[in-house]
Amino acid sequence: MRIHTFRHQNLQIDKLLTKPGEAWCFFGDNSSGIDSFIDLLSGRLQDFSAKILHLPEHPAILSFQAQQEVYEEELRNDDSDFLDRIDPGTPVCQYLPDYRNHLPLLKAFGMDHCLQLGYRQLSSGQSRKLLFLQKLIGGATTLVMQNPYDGLDQESCHELNLALQQLPDRNIELILLVNSESDIPPWCSYLALLASGRLEASGLRKIVQPLLHSLQKPRRPVPAPISGKHLQPAPAGDVQSDELIYLRGGFAGYGDKKLFTGLDLTINAGDHTLITGPNGCGKSTLLDIITGDNPKCYANTLRIFGKRRGSGESIWDIKKHMGIISPALHREHRIPGSALQVVLSGLYDSIGLYTKVSSTEVNAAKHWLNWLSLAGKSDTPFRRMSYAEQRLVLIGRSLIKRPKLLILDEPTQGLDDVHRNSLLDLLEQIADKKLSTILFVSHRKDEHRTWFHRQIHLDSYAV
């Protein structure tokens, strides 16, 4: 890749040269222009100029956008309406037609036992590993990976690093794009730094990395809109008990495969809980059972807000007391609508806004967008925002009504260090002020904060 005097409204590059067999890491926060750079590599960027622009031909792009495109293609091919069961999606083996010649690689990534599963049966981390294996087995000569460690457990991150370190020796050009400094892999020989829409430095890692902190600008603190003057908490209705979740002998699975069994879980108000475990152990499935988005919620011995599931309450009766963010919810937001409308939809637990809102509610949503550094993007269509911006909007959507229970499934995916830490600091305030009870799924050890009262290792309940 060779770029000289490149100009775009969101990205400027004076000079950049990479070669086959080199391993590069591009680092930048969410406003650095790093999303425009991946759009350039994938051919989506428009309205730019350059004196020299030699980009990799047919690069294999593994990004959140690419993962979303696969998911939407799976939805278009969903045959659930014609089956007597839920369509599990395209089998993993069909994504990897030459998998028999790469079984050691699949085993190294813990994907050898997933070959007969459907795409929609995979966890978020497993689907990311699948797309990486698809590109690698497909013979890619340039591999571009956006935040490759997001959604992967610690063991999978280690396995991915072992595999990536071998690629330069196979004359594969490797380009990683990361938002978190801790995700810069030590084995990457070359580093490029983006800041405020400009490529500020590039070259040998040992020369460039010392410049990193001088380029980072601290975020101007904005008070989080959690005081009563913005919005009162969601009405308590008939929810009187301190018991939020009661599960006995909890189990989940699909087909003949069990994910976990024998889980006893009681969460009372103030029991902030961290859930951990490897990819595919059922963390997201457990949350879906709690929110009512998995039919196993009726098969389990489960009470939510003191009421037994299946006793006549609707899913909306349950969700009006919850704030939810998850990779699945993010994938489902395919409807038209602005950033402001998506935040407001959190008040009504809908995907899309179909209710007339008050000026007080609009002002509350604008306060959240301001805290999320998105004050100027209220009217921007959600679908035209970057993945990180979308995730921030969904965080605002989950928090706006100050629910009794915050269910957060890897909420910081795609966020830079500043926004990640700002969210975690806000959750600490929420916990301290007893505004909500937090149920939090994470793979990242730097997110294991002291205000979590307990940690559940879900793999301890694997069958």
pLDDT score at 124 = 78
256 in the same domain as 207: no
**In the chain, what percentage of residues exceed pLDDT 70?**
95
Residue 231 lies in a domain: no
Q: CA 419, CA 428: separation in Å to the nearest integer?
A: 14
Residue 113 lies in a domain: yes
Q: Exposure pattern of 346-366 as b/e (b: 16+ CB <10 Å)?
A: bbbbeeebeeebeeebeebbb
β-sheet bridge partners, residue 174:
23, 143
Question: Of 199, 215, 231, which marks where a domain is finished?
Answer: 215
Nearby residues of 69 by Cβ (< 8 Å), 6 or more positions away: none
β-sheet bridge partners, residue 191:
25, 203
159 in the same domain as 18: yes
Q: Mind listing the pLDDT tens digit for each residue in 183-219? A: 999 999 999 999 999 999 999 999 999 999 888 776 6
For residues 29-49, average pLDDT? 94
pLDDT score at 54 = 96
pLDDT score at 228 = 55
Q: Mind listing the pLDDT tens digit for each residue in 245-264? A: 999 999 998 777 789 999 99
pLDDT score at 237 = 44
Residue 186 lies in a domain: yes
Range of the domain at 198: 2-215
- Residue identified by tokens 């009470």 is 303
40 in the same domain as 179: yes
Residue 357 lies in a domain: yes
Q: CA 118, CA 398: separation in Å to the nearest integer?
A: 29
**CATH number where 262 lies:** 3.40.50.300
Residue 202 lies in a domain: yes
Residue 222 lies in a domain: no
Residue type at 30 in one-letter notation:
N
103 has pLDDT over 70: yes
Q: Is 243 exposed, middle or buried (0-12, 13-18, 19+ CB in 10 A)?
A: middle
Q: Mind listing the pLDDT tens digit for each residue in 213-241? A: 888 776 666 778 876 555 555 444 444 46
Q: How would DSSP label each residue in 201-250?
A: EEEEHHHHGGGHHHH--PPPP---S-STTT-PPPP-TT---SEEEEEEEE
190 in the same domain as 96: yes
The domain total for the chain is 2
Residue from 208, 170, 168, 178 nearest 192 by CA: 208
Residue 245 lies in a domain: no
* Per-residue confidence band for 3, with pLDDT thresholds at 50, 70 and 90: very high
β-sheet bridge partners, residue 365:
none
Residue from 409, 314, 345, 296 nearest 305 by CA: 314
156 in the same domain as 257: no
353 in the same domain as 430: yes
Average pLDDT, whole number, for the chain? Answer: 89
Q: Mind listing the pLDDT tens digit for each residue in 268-320? A: 999 999 999 998 899 999 999 999 988 889 899 999 998 888 777 777 888 88
265 in the same domain as 209: no
* Per-residue confidence band for 360, with pLDDT thresholds at 50, 70 and 90: very high
Residue from 347, 344, 380 nearest 362 by CA: 344
Whole-model pTM: value is 0.87
Q: CA 243, CA 389: separation in Å to the nearest integer?
A: 34
306 in the same domain as 170: no
- Residue identified by tokens 């902030």 is 272
Integer Rg of the chain from CA:
22
For residues 424-440, average pLDDT? 93
190 in the same domain as 68: yes
141 in the same domain as 191: yes
Question: Of 215, 237, 258, which marks where a domain is finished?
Answer: 215
Q: Mind listing the pLDDT tens digit for each residue in 56-75? A: 988 899 888 888 888 888 88
Q: CA 284, CA 279: separation in Å to the nearest integer?
A: 10
Residue 226 lies in a domain: no
* Per-residue confidence band for 436, with pLDDT thresholds at 50, 70 and 90: very high
Question: Any alpha helices (H) in 278-345, and if so which ranges?
Answer: 283-291, 296-299, 315-319, 327-332, 339-345
Nearby residues of 144 by Cβ (< 8 Å), 6 or more positions away: 38, 41, 42, 56, 59, 60, 61, 62, 63, 175, 177
Nearby residues of 269 by Cβ (< 8 Å), 6 or more positions away: 242, 244, 404, 434, 437
Question: Of 169, 197, 215, which marks where a domain is finished?
Answer: 215
DSSP 3-state of 267: strand
190 in the same domain as 270: no
50 in the same domain as 188: yes
